[in-house]
Structure 1
Amino acid sequence: MINVQSVVLFAISYFIIPRLTFLPKSVHSLIILFGPFLLPRLVNFFNTARATSRSVPIRPVPPKVQRALNLLFLSAVCSLVLTLPKFAPENIFIRTQSRLQIAPDTLFARLRLLRPLTDEDESLRSKFQLNGQNKLLYLVFGPDTLLNCIWCATPDGNDFQNYLLYSLPKIVTPHIFHLGVLGLATSSLIGAEGSRFRTHVTVAGLCLVIAETWFFANYDLATSKRAKVLQEVDFAHWRIRMLRYLAFAVVDIALGLVLWTTSTNRWLAKPENIAQRLEMTTRKAEDTLNKLRGLGLLTNSINRDQQLRGLKEEYWRTEGQVMAETVQEEEVMDEINRVVGTMDLRSLEGRVGEVADGILAGIDGMRASQVLSSSALSDGPASQ
């Protein structure tokens, strides 16, 4: 059957997706190939989850989930703050607005005009003067790795793998802290609302680690070697650092949104099973029975005590007098007449009739079941 949703999905699959030419060719090809098959299934999954959530009442955020949301909010804010250039290592090429092919002495002469040179600057200048490839390594791994790795430089000049191994702990350490935050937000301390997504967020965190490590392991140093102007230089260390913390913030915000929507039964709500419903109903029935028993004991005690019984009778006698006097007032009588005049007695009579018919039908059903059970009991001894 053709409906609006089918038409929209058809248009997206065969008219919009093929025109997403700004995407990488491999990604674009995969979307064109699998998009028409996966998109309807994703829409159906979303509709099913939304329909299930509608059958469960919305509730406030549980206190444990609120703690997880606070932790994720703090982590996302810290990640966004760390993306600012103030917290990143200084990039002397951007600071001096110099091309990659500039002579080291000229580069640091420009830097001296902006701020006093330090011992690290002198060491960095000697590195740049020693080998032009060190500039490319500086762009990829940053100044700290280039200055502090004392065993990375080799006589054959193939230093990329050594610098990669040296910088690998620095690459992985932020991801470990982020995985710790995700683990706390989905641990058993949060409850079932968070632990149900523990596998998903762990996979997401590991994918970020693998993606960043794979990027640096397969990075081509010659990417920036052919750059003629500063805008063409790929400052990979600073770019990936910013993208890393942006990805952390996106994952934290996404997990927080998922926890909020699922814990409040707005999305992917799980209806309570029959055992939980029976347990809850039984508990409520027991509470009601205990209250009725307490009320019965209280009423019995009042009726047995002469003084309390007299107070109760005096209260109801006074209540009757007050209500009788109130009803006899002119304003109250006018209001009662107005309400009675606006009532639809025919519809009220019909509703009363429906209720009475339902009660009588229930009584007839009970009688029929009793007759059947009694006949079954009488037939049993007769057959024996």
Structure 2
Amino acid sequence: MAISWGTIKSLLLFFGPILLPKAIGYYRSARSAPTIHGIPIRPVPSSVKRALLILFVTALAFLLRTLPAFAPENIFQLTKSRIQIPNDVLFARLNALRPGQPGLTSSDTLLRSRINSLESRLLFFQFGPDVLTNCQFCNAEDPNTYLYYFLPALLAPHLFNICVLALVTSGLFTGKDGGLWRMSATLAGGAAILLDVWITATYSYQENARATRLEDLHPFFWRMRVYRFIGLAFIDGLLGWLLYLSSTNRAFIIPATPGERIESSTKLLDNVRSKMNAMSILRNTVNRDKELRERSREYWVMEGDLMGELMEEREVVEGVNNALENRIDIRTISADAETYAENVLAPLRAMQGTTDS
């Protein structure tokens, strides 16, 4: 039996006050991690840009599939008929709505022979018209046969989306930025499959048997189709948002381990050491060659003379004096010196007074 909306609201009211503060606290700690660890924000890497484009196109395609133009035809809704309507009247209304066609299509004729009982019409609202039209082994006396035939069509968008999630979180495609969310994306895709199959398999299709008006009929197949594509688009959008935050160091930062920090420091020291070795070799080469050594000496003599001339200019001298006066407060330094001297001499004066007494 499917879970009612009242049960869902009760579960949300019970678990909401417990889980919501924890979720908010986790999000805040994830957002503040870059500031705590001193990691700067960076632009979106090119590999992540490709992944975000793929997720955007996939989510947009799923949302477009929810439009009524792409949905299978509900002949009861189209003809505004009750579920108890006779077959001849139902398809006569359907034929009247298609003036541009020579008559009922072959699919309509086949469907007409498959929904001649109330049980088959109830299954029509659970699994849609394609299952009842094309399934050759399905039997209304065993509703599970319809479920077995419907499973591939139900799983197809989920499996496609899992392939997309696997691609955008692959280490070969997005590197470490995507691999961070690979497990979470796989679990989300798997949970969506289990939830969809469970809701479809446990739906109580007999509830439509009590509907006496068209408004009372529950179009389970068409609503679940919309919820399915919206849910897949939400998973893709959420993954794209998480990828954006983590790849730009805005949130969900994993601090480097001590081993990684040691390796980074070692590489930095090796780089500095190689540059110093190169500089030492260059200096030895210059000092060993008479011509280069003479050129080096002339260069530094010329630089020294030029610096001396610049420092003797009036504007330079005045600028240096102004900078020193602005940066150094002589009065404050004198007061600090007097205070320090008094603190040092105070114990000595106290000892001298004790001795004299």
TM-score over 0.5 (shorter chain): yes
Q: 1:135 aligns with which of 111, 121, 125?
A: 121
Which residue in 2 is equivalent to 1:211?
195
Judge conservation of contact 1:183–1:202 (CA < 8 Å) in 2: yes
Judge conservation of contact 2:79–2:93 (CA < 8 Å) in 1: yes
Q: Distance in 2 between matches of 1:247 and 1:348?
A: 69
- Alpha-carbon shift at residue 285 of structure 1 (Å): 0.9
Q: 2:99 aligns with which of 113, 117, 125?
A: 113
Judge conservation of contact 1:79–1:245 (CA < 8 Å) in 2: yes
Q: Distance in 2 between matches of 1:348 and 1:197?
A: 58
After TM superposition, the structure 1 = structure 2 runs for residues 71-220 of structure 1, keeping only pairs within 5 Å, are: 71-102=54-85, 103-113=89-99, 117=103, 118-128=105-115, 130-153=116-139, 157-189=140-172, 190-220=174-204
* Letter in structure 2 aligned against 1:284: L
Q: 2:269 aligns with which of 270, 281, 285?
A: 285
Which residue in 1 is equivalent to 2:233?
249
- Alpha-carbon shift at residue 148 of structure 1 (Å): 0.7
Judge conservation of contact 1:96–1:110 (CA < 8 Å) in 2: no
Instruction: Summarize the Cα distance change of 1:307–1:218 in structure 2 as closer, same or farther, 3 Å threshold.
Output: same
May I ask how many residue pairs the two structures share in their alignment? 325
Judge conservation of contact 1:164–1:217 (CA < 8 Å) in 2: yes
1:24 aligns with 2:5: yes
Which residue in 1 is equivalent to 2:40?
58
Judge conservation of contact 2:122–2:209 (CA < 8 Å) in 1: yes
- SS for the counterpart of 1:112 is coil
* Letter in structure 1 aligned against 2:114: K
Judge conservation of contact 1:145–1:166 (CA < 8 Å) in 2: yes
Unmatched 5+ stretches in structure 1: 1-22, 354-384
- SS for the counterpart of 1:268 is coil
- SS for the counterpart of 2:127 is helix
Q: Distance in 1 between matches of 2:129 and 2:114?
A: 10
Instruction: Summarize the Cα distance change of 1:133–1:34 in structure 2 as closer, same or farther, 3 Å threshold.
Output: closer
Instruction: Summarize the Cα distance change of 1:233–1:34 in structure 2 as closer, same or farther, 3 Å threshold.
Output: closer
- Alpha-carbon shift at residue 37 of structure 1 (Å): 4.0
Q: Distance in 1 between matches of 2:227 and 2:30?
A: 32
- SS for the counterpart of 2:189 is helix
* Letter in structure 2 aligned against 1:183: A
Identity %: 36
- Alpha-carbon shift at residue 328 of structure 1 (Å): 5.7
Q: Distance in 2 between matches of 1:208 and 1:106?
A: 40
**Residues 93-140 of structure 1, C-alpha deviation per residue, up to 9 Å, x if partnerless?**
444455545522332233223655422223233434x33444333322
Which residue in 2 is equivalent to 1:17?
none
**Residues 266-312 of structure 1, C-alpha deviation per residue, up to 9 Å, x if partnerless?**
33322112121111111111110110111111122223323323333
TM-score (ref. length: structure 2): 0.76
Q: Distance in 1 between matches of 2:274 and 2:331?
A: 39
Judge conservation of contact 2:81–2:90 (CA < 8 Å) in 1: no
Instruction: Summarize the Cα distance change of 1:203–1:347 in structure 2 as closer, same or farther, 3 Å threshold.
Output: farther
- Alpha-carbon shift at residue 76 of structure 1 (Å): 1.7
Instruction: Summarize the Cα distance change of 1:132–1:65 in structure 2 as closer, same or farther, 3 Å threshold.
Output: same
Judge conservation of contact 1:53–1:270 (CA < 8 Å) in 2: no
Q: Distance in 2 between matches of 1:239 and 1:41?
A: 32
Q: Distance in 2 between matches of 1:287 and 1:346?
A: 44
Unmatched 5+ stretches in structure 2: 338-357
Instruction: Summarize the Cα distance change of 1:35–1:149 in structure 2 as closer, same or farther, 3 Å threshold.
Output: closer
- Alpha-carbon shift at residue 175 of structure 1 (Å): 1.5
- Alpha-carbon shift at residue 347 of structure 1 (Å): 10
- Alpha-carbon shift at residue 149 of structure 1 (Å): 1.0
Judge conservation of contact 1:178–1:205 (CA < 8 Å) in 2: yes
Instruction: Summarize the Cα distance change of 1:93–1:347 in structure 2 as closer, same or farther, 3 Å threshold.
Output: farther
Question: Which region of structure 1 is more displaced relative to structure 2, 32-41 or 162-171?
Answer: 32-41
* Letter in structure 2 aligned against 1:123: L
**Residues 248-277 of structure 1, C-alpha deviation per residue, up to 9 Å, x if partnerless?**
111111122223323433333221121211
- Alpha-carbon shift at residue 329 of structure 1 (Å): 5.8
Question: Which region of structure 1 is more displaced relative to structure 2, 93-102 or 239-248?
Answer: 93-102
TM-score (ref. length: structure 1): 0.71
